[in-house]
Structure 1
Amino acid sequence: MDDELVLRSRRVLLPDGERPAAVSIRDGRITAIAGYHDLTGLDLGPLALLPGLVDTHVHVNEPGRTEWEGYETATRAALAGGITTIVDMPLNSVPPTVTVPALRQKRAAARGRCHVDVGFWGGAVPDNLAELPALAAAGVFGFKAFLVDSGVPEFPPLDPAGLGRALAAVDALFLVHAEDPAELRAAPPSSRYRDFLDSRPPSAERRAVEAVLAVARRTGARVHILHLSAADALVPLRAARRDGVRVTVETCPHYLVLDAAEVPDGATEFKCCPPIRGSANRDALWAALADGGIDCVVSDHSPCPPTLKQFGSGDFAAAWGGVASLQLGLPLVWTEARRRGHGLADLVRWMARRPAEIAGLSGKGRIAVGADADLVALDPDAEFTVDPERLFHRHPVTPYAGRRLTGRIRGTWLGGRPVSPKDPPRGRLLSPGVTA
C-alpha cells in the first residue's frame, strides 16, 4: 500500500469550479477532497492544481515509423506539457491498427516505454470492417476513419457509404477526418502558403461534416469530428445537435493560435490538414469553444523527420502535413485563452475533462474522489520563450519557435507519484475499463 499523499493549493480546479482545497491520495487514486486548512501536506503555494490533461489525438507512429516519433519521445513530451494520458491514433504506424494482431504489435512496442498512460484507437478502412467487433473487444477506445486520402497508402479512406457500413458493424465511437475529396483542389508546387490554403477550402470541411452527420442521423451512431478548422462547419453541427444527433467536435491549438496571414513563405512547419485559416475564422472557433459548440482541444500531434517538411524547397504541396505540439499545447491555449478572458476552469474543461469523457476514460481528466491521481501544478503567470532545443519530441520542428507563452508546469503526479520527463517510464497501457 502506498503512503497517503496530500497536496494543498489555494487554486484547485475541481469539477464545480476553482477553490482552495486539500487533495488526499492513496494507491494511485484520489481518496478525499477537503478544505485547504483541514489537512496537512505538500503546500503548492501560488501554484494552481489541475487534473492532468488528456490528449486523445496523438500520432506516435510506432512501430514502423519510429524514426518519425515513438512512444519514448512522444510521451516524454506529453509529460513535459502537463499531459498525463494520451490516446494513440491508428496511423502512421506500420502496420496501422486495423487488426487485432496490429493492436498487439502496438501494445508490445509501447509496453515499458511510456512516460504517461496510453490508450489506443482502432482504424476503419475499406477492407477491415469485419474486423471492427474483434478490435473493439480487444480494447481499442473507438475507430478513426478518413473521408480523404490519409497521406499514407496503408490507411485508405472510406466514402460516406463505407462509413455507414462501418458504423453499422460495431457499436463504438467513430472519429472522422472530415474533408470532402470532391471539394479539394490540386495544390500547385509553391512556397506560398496562400496557394496551399486555397487548395483546401472551408467548403471541403463543411460538405464532409454534413455527410458524416447524415450517416450519423440515419444510423443513430456516435461520431466525433476531428480537428475542426473551418468555422463554417459549425452551422450544420449546431443544427444536428439540436436534432439529437450524437456528435462531438474537437479543434487544435494551431487553429486557435495561428493566423494564415502570418505564415511566412516557405515555412512548411505550419502545414497541416485541414489548414490553418484566417483570424476571423479563429475568432469564430474561440466563440464556439466558449458556448460549447466545440467540445475540446487536443493536439493532433503529427510529427515527421525534417526532410519530409521540404525545408530546402519550402514547397507546401510536397511537404508532410502535421504540427507537433504535445509539449506546448497547454501554454499555447492558456496564453490565448487568458487574453480572451477565459479562466483555468475553461482550460481544464477543454483539455482534460471533455476529452476524457468523449473517449470514455472515466478515471481521467478531473479532480474527484475515485479518479486517478494524475495531477499538474501550474504556474499560470510564468512566461517563457519557445526554444526548439528544449522540446522532447523526436524532431525539434515547431511553428512556435521564439513565441512568448504563459504557463509553466512546476510539478506532475501520475497515479499519485511525482514524475518528470527525466524519470524512467511509469505510464500504463489502457483499455476501456482496464489497465495493464
Structure 2
Amino acid sequence: MAFESLASRLQSTFDKLRGKGKVTEEDVTKAMREVRLALLEADVNFKVVKDFVNRVKERAIGQEVLKSLTPGQQVIKVVNDELTELMGGGQSKIAVSTRPPTVVMMVGLQGAGKTTTTGKLANYLRGKQNRKPLLVACDVYRPAAIKQLQVLGSQLDIPVFSMGNEVSPVEIARAAIEHAKAEHLDYVLIDTAGRLHIDEALMNELQQIKEVARPEEIMLVVDAMTGQDAVNVAESFNQQLALSGVILTKLDGDTKGGAALSVKSVTGTPIKFVGMGEKMDALEPFYPDRMASRILGMGDVLTLIEKAQIDVDAEQAKELERKFRKAEFTFEDFLTQMEQVRKMGPLNELLSMMPGMNKLKGMKDVKVDESALGRVEAIVRSMTREEKLKPEMINASRRKRIAKGSGTSVQEVNRLIKQFEDMRKMMKQFTKMTDKAKKKGGGFKFPFMP
C-alpha cells in the first residue's frame, strides 16, 4: 500500500498528541523529532525534511495552536496543511490547447513504464475527459517498443501513428501532429525513447522533438519505488527540458513515499498523475490534499466516492446495506460485494481511504491478498445454498467436502469462514459508528451504500 510505513509512523506519533487537553512546546519538539526520522526513513530528500519540520514547528508552537481548545488536533491540522503544500498544494491538471491537438511529450528512462503509462494516459483522456487521443511511436531504438505501443492501442481501441524504425523520431513527431490535425484529434501523446541513464544523445534528440512538436506538456514518467533516484532523474530532465509535469508509476507498491514527497519541492514540477496498479485504467490524477489526508489516517472520502460512482451498482449496493443492517449478510452477498469492490481497485488501497478504519479494532494490520480472491470464489461456490445462508452450520466434515470441491485446503476454508465472521463484526462496528455520527448530525457514509 502506498506510503504504508510512513503513514504508520506518523499516525503513531500523532496518536500521542491527539487526545491531549494541553500541548507544550516540548511535546511539539518531541513529535517533530519523530516526524523528521519518519520522513528520512521514507527516503524523503534531507533538505526537504529539514525545511518541512521547521515550518511545521514554527506554526505548531504559535499561540493559535497551543492555546486552542484542541491543541493536539491543531498540530495535526498544521502537519496536514504542510504535507499538502509539500506535494504541490492543489491538483495540477493536464494542459488543454486552445488550438487542438494538445501535444504531450512523454519522457523518461528505460524501465520506468513510459510506454505503458502513455497508453494509460490515452485511456484516461478518452474515458474520463471524452477526448480523442493519438498514440505516437517515436521510440525507434528499443526492440519491440513500436509493437508494444501498437498492441496497447489495439487493446484500448485508440489509434497509433507509426512510421517504423527507419525514420527519425523528429520526422515521426512532425508527421503525427499533421495527421492529428487532419483527423481532428484532441491529443497527441508522443512516446519517446528512453535510456538506462541520462546521456547527451538522448537529450539532444528530445530537444529536437521538443522544437518540432512544441508540446504543451512535457511529462516525465518515473518509478516511485526508486525513491531519491526518481527525484534526481526528475531534476536532471527538468534542467534540460523544463518539464511541465511528473507521472509517478508504481505508487501503489511504494510503502515509503519519498519520491512523491520530494519531487515538487526539489524540482518545482508538479506530480500530475500516479500509477496505482497494472491495469490500463489504473492511472489517477494526483491530489496532494487527499494524499496528505491518507498519510495521516484521515481517509480519502472523495476518491472513494468517485470510484464508487463509476464502478458500483447502486441498487445492488442498497440491498447489501439493508442486509448488513439486518444481519442477513450471506456468503452469496459476500461474493457480490467482493466483485463490486474489486472493480474499484486494490482492497488495501480502499481500506486506507476510509476515515477511522485504522482505528477499528484489528483493522490496522489487515492485509488483503488480492490473488486469493479466485480461491475465495471457488470455496463459496462449493458450498450448498443452505451453507451459504448459514455459515455457522459448516462443521468439520462439511469443511473437508468444500475444500475438496474447490481444490483448496481445509485451512483455507477455515480461514475464509473466520474472515467472513470478522467482516460481519467489522460492519456491525462500522454501522454503529455511522449511526452514532448521524445522531450527532454528521459523520461518514459508506460510499457504496446509498
TM-score (norm 1): 0.28
**Which has more strand, going by share of residues?**
1
Q: State the structure with bigger RCO (CA 8 A, min sep 6), 1 or 2.
A: 1
**Which has more helix, going by share of residues?**
2
TM-score (norm 2): 0.28
